[in-house]
């Protein structure tokens, strides 16, 4: 039983060593180091998050209006501001990516 346990333990150890060493067994000449994201890449991520937040806020406003949580007056007071914010976020992202800014669609039908 002890011999069997020793053999199994040895097999386990070898398997672990192979698993840990596996990345190094590949062609290491082709392995690049991890690349730190550049400033523009970080900015792009930030703008994409801003865009999603702005669109989500617009969607929430539409839904809150439809479910009666905010009055027509409050809705009209806020929707313009949120649409501007969403348009600004989209424009900033497009400019950052070197694309021509497109028109902002209302999210009214996509609640």
Partner 1 sequence: MPLLGRAALILAFGLVVYAAVAGSYGAWRRRRLVVESARNALCGAFGVALVASLVLLAALARHDFRFTYVADHTSRELPLRYTLSAFWGGQEGSLLLWFLVLTGAASGAIALNRRLTTDVLPWTAPILGGLASFFAFLLVAVSSPFATQPAPVDGAGLNPSLQNPYMLAHPPMLYLGYVGLSIPFAFAMAALASSRNDERWLVATRRWTLAAWTFLGVAILLGAKWAYEEVGWGGWYAWDPVENAALMPWLVATAYLHSVMIQEKKNMLRVWNAVLVALAFGLSLFGTFLTRSGVINSIHSFTQSPLGSWFLGFIAVVAAGSTALILVRLPVLRSRTRLESLVSREAAFLYNNLFLVAFALTVLWGVVYPLVSEAVRGVAVTVGAPYYDFFGIAFGLPLVILMGIGPVVAWRRASLRSVGRTLLLPGGVAVVAGAALVLAGAGSSPVGLVGYTFAAFVLAAIVVEFIRGTRARRALGEPSWPRALASLVSRNRRRYGGYIVHAAIVLLLVGAIGIGAFSTTREVRLQRGETVTVDGYTLAYVGSTAERVANAKELRAHLQVTRNGDDLGTIAAGKNRYPAEGESSNEVGIRTDLLRAEDLFVIADRFDRGGSVFIKVIVNPLVNLIWLAGIVFLFGSVVAMWPDAREQARLARRFGEPEALAPA
What is the contact surface with partner 1 in residues (CB under 8 A)?
1-2, 5-6, 8-9, 12-13, 15-16, 19-24, 26, 28, 31-37, 41-42, 44-46, 48-53, 56-57, 60-61, 63-64, 66-71, 74, 78, 97, 109, 111
Alpha helices per DSSP H over the chain: 2-25, 39-66, 72-96
- How far is Cα 107 from Cα 10, in angstroms, rounded to an integer? 62
Q: State the minimum distance, in angstroms, from the CB of residue 17 to partner 1.
A: 9
- For partner 1, the closer of residues 78 and 88 by Cβ is 78
Q: How far is the CB of 20 from partner 1 (least distance, A)?
A: 5
Using an 8 Å Cβ cutoff, are 62 and 107 in contact?
Answer: yes
Backbone angles phi, psi at 45, to 5 degrees: -60, -45
């Amino acid at each position: 039983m002890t011999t069997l346990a020793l053999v199994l333990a040895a097999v386990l150890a070898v398997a672990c060593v192979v698993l840990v060493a596996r990345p190094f067994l590949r062609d290491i000449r082709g392995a690049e180091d991890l690349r730190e994201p550049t400033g523009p890449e970080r900015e792009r991520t930030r703008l994409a998050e801003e865009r999603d937040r702005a669109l989500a806020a617009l969607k929430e406003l539409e839904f809150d209006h439809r479910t009666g949580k905010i009055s027509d007056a409050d809705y009209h007071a806020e929707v313009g501001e949120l649409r501007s914010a969403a348009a600004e976020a989209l424009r900033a992202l497009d400019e950052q990516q070197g694309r021509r800014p497109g028109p902002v669609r209302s999210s009214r039908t996509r609640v």
